Amino acid sequence: MFLCLVAVSLLHLTSPTVITPPSTISNFCSVLHQYATVDTKTVANQTFKLCIAYPKWSQKGALAGGSEMRFNGTHRFDLTPNASAPGHYNCVSKYFGKPDPRSLPFGFITIDSDATFNHTSKQPIDTFQHVNIFSATRPYSPHTTKVAWMNWYVHTITNTTEHQLLRSACRQPASQVQPNATGQSIGIRDFGQDFVTPTSAAKFHPPLHTICIPSKGPTPPTPFVPATCDPTCQTDSLCCKDPSSSNPACCYAVKECSQVHNVMEEVVEKEVVDEEEEAYAVGKQDWWSWK
């Protein structure tokens, strides 16, 4: 009996501590550095400002000429600097609807529920010590059965119970990224620089005075209605609002607010148009798996 008790006691003493994947801060702005290699050759290398607060996001610096994108939860606003335009931006808006939490960029910051604790880094990650690393396998994208291997690097903020995702990394066969490629593909996203939380709500809407031209696209379930903007909209534009949303009203180059989604014809240059276009677009690669 004594030996059995000793054995049970030793089992409890030597059983590993199970560390479950934490929920990381999901409302923040940071300078995102994302890069990828295919068989050691760099195929992507970008640094830009990213703000996230599901279902909203904005990015600045990923596109040429200082252009930026802002997504208010249903509509994307493509903003191009123009000193002579109202609000100093040209603006094109397009309706997409509420995004899937797995879609970009929200999939960047979500640790899979089946991820397991790998180890604590012995080397600093973005200057932080004792960073916990969680790992999991996952589909290459929501639409395929190809497999990728994920790592998430998590820092617990000092004197708090909050967890900050510093970095995520994806490893997969290079042939899944480029046909006929050999070796491995590695994609890394680093969120550690200039991390600020929470982000400002203004990051997700057009700047004041800006007039947006609606891009022809899907029709939302609720037509836009006239509203009051402060400051007031300039001549040849109307202040319009989605009555089903708490988002602020915006100025649109329309004669009636119901036209907000049926004005500008878009020229599509690709042979096949995806049935469901993603609102978040940074490059041609499938970034979903490169979290």
Alpha helix segments (H runs only) across the chain:
2-14
Residues 149, 166: contact at Cβ < 8 Å? no
The structure tokens listed for 16 are 């590993």
Going residue by residue through the chain (291 aa), what tens digit of pLDDT does each one get?
A: 444 444 444 444 444 556 788 889 999 999 999 888 888 889 888 899 999 999 999 999 877 778 899 999 999 999 999 999 999 999 999 988 888 887 888 877 889 888 999 999 888 888 898 899 999 987 755 555 677 888 999 999 888 889 999 999 988 888 887 888 888 888 899 998 899 988 888 899 999 999 999 987 777 888 999 999 988 998 889 999 999 888 999 999 999 998 888 766 544 443 333 434 566 654 433 433 333
Residues 140, 172: contact at Cβ < 8 Å? yes
Please give the domain boundaries of the chain with CATH numbers for all domains.
27-70+101-200 (2.50.20)
Please count the other Cβ atoms lying within 10 Å of the Cβ belonging to residue 66.
11
Residues 194, 174: contact at Cβ < 8 Å? no
**Alpha-carbon distance 76 to 95, whole Å?**
7
Bridge-partner residues for 29, per DSSP? 51, 196
Q: What angle do CA 52, 53, 56 make, to 5 degrees?
A: 85
**How many Å is the maximal CA-CA distance in the chain?**
91
Instruction: Name the pairing type of β-strands 238-241 and 250-252.
Output: antiparallel
The gap between the terminal CA atoms of the chain, to the nearest Å, is 52
Bridge-partner residues for 252, per DSSP? 212, 238
